[in-house]
């Protein structure tokens, strides 16, 4: 009887270990999370000379004085960033994840057409990747005209 119990316990331990080995692993959390169309300051190690971003369609990075880097979210997804010194040695490596806005955003779906609005406190059109082509083009066109007029007025 004791031998049967020992074998059952041993079988249970082996089964638990086997399940733990084949169970899916959780995804690695990003070192830096930034929202789409927003920027975040990152402190870099001393003597960084070059920053390389794996996919510049997802994030952009620019070196600033004082060992700072500005990371800007350009598109949804995950990429990596490598900081190098003048000799090419890696000083830092980070994963950057760009996520969509979380607060005060309303997404309207009409069949396959999508529109996004920023509602803080009143809902206004928002240019967001993934919106339908007509909505996106119209909104960005209005934004471009407005910005051009503002620059012309400032130049006067």
Q: What is the mean pLDDT, run by run of 10 residues, along the chain of 156 residues?
A: 56 50 55 94 95 96 95 95 96 95 90 93 90 94 93 92
End-to-end CA distance of the chain: 96
pLDDT of residue 26: 47
The verdict on pTM exceeding 0.75 is no
Cα distances (angstroms) measured from residue 138 to each of 40, 81, 129, 133, 152: 29, 34, 14, 8, 21
Asked, as a colleague might, if the bond just before 92 is cis with ω within 30 of 0, I would say: no
Residue 78 CA to residue 74 CA, distance in Å, equals 11
Residue 95 CA to residue 146 CA, distance in Å, equals 36
pLDDT of residue 19: 47
Cβ atoms < 10 Å from Cβ of 156: 4
- Those residues with Cβ within 8 angstroms of residue 146's Cβ, 6 or more apart along the chain or in another chain: none
Question: What domains are there in the chain, each with its CATH number?
Answer: 32-99 (2.60.40.1080), 105-155 (no CATH)
């Amino acid at each position: 009887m004791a031998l049967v119990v020992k074998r059952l316990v041993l079988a249970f331990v082996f089964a638990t270990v086997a399940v733990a080995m084949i169970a899916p692993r959780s995804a690695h959390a990003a070192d830096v999370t930034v929202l789409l169309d927003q920027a975040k300051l990152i402190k870099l190690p001393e003597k960084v000379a070059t920053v390389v971003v794996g996919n510049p369609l997802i994030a952009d990075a620019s070196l600033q004085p004082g060992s700072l880097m500005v990371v800007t979210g350009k598109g949804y997804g995950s990429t990596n960033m490598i900081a190098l010194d003048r000799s090419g040695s890696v000083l830092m490596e980070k994963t950057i994840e760009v996520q969509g806005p979380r607060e005060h955003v309303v997404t309207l779906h009409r069949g396959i057409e999508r529109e996004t609005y920023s509602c803080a406190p009143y809902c206004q059109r928002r240019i967001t990747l993934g919106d339908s082509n007509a909505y996106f083009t119209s909104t960005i066109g209005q934004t471009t005209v407005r910005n051009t007029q503002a620059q012309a007025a400032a130049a006067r």
